[in-house]
Amino acid sequence: MNAKQLLGAVSATIIKIALAAVIIVMVFRLAVYAYDFGYQVFADVPVSEGEGRIVSVVVSEGQTSRELAKMLEQKGLISDANAFYVYERLSDYKDLLKPGVYELSTSMKAEEMLEIVCQQEDETQDADGN
């Protein structure tokens, strides 16, 4: 084996190792993202502990759950609109949004928020359910 063949073999091996490392890093990052997303959907953890901050939310007639999720994220009530949307789609509250003005808290879980904005009555409720 001459020097040119040896250099070619070493270069090919280095490229294969680098490609394998890139693939491993990408798979690891994807796994971490998938875990975090699943945790947000299924753990149903509020944004803040304790009393939280009360925020007024207006649900309009015909508003989709995706639009609601984006609005809740913008107002700081949830940390990830996509996770909230998936949670809503998998819950008993799927497609049950009721128009109205609601008082929600950053200490509420996604299920508690959905319970309030999907209530059967058309009257306004506050964070305590009154």
Q: Look at residue 61 in the predicted model and tell me its pLDDT.
A: 92
- Output the CA–CA distances (angstroms, integers) from residue 125 to 31, 103, 117, in the order listed: 39, 7, 9
pLDDT tens column, 43-81: 888 888 888 899 999 999 999 999 999 999 999 999 999
pLDDT (mean) for 97-105: 93
Report the alpha-carbon distance of residue 36 to residue 50 in Å, rounded: 23
- The residue among 123 and 87 whose pLDDT is bigger is 87
pLDDT (mean) for 31-46: 89
Q: How many helices (H) and strands (E) does the chain have?
A: 4, 2
pTM over 0.75: no
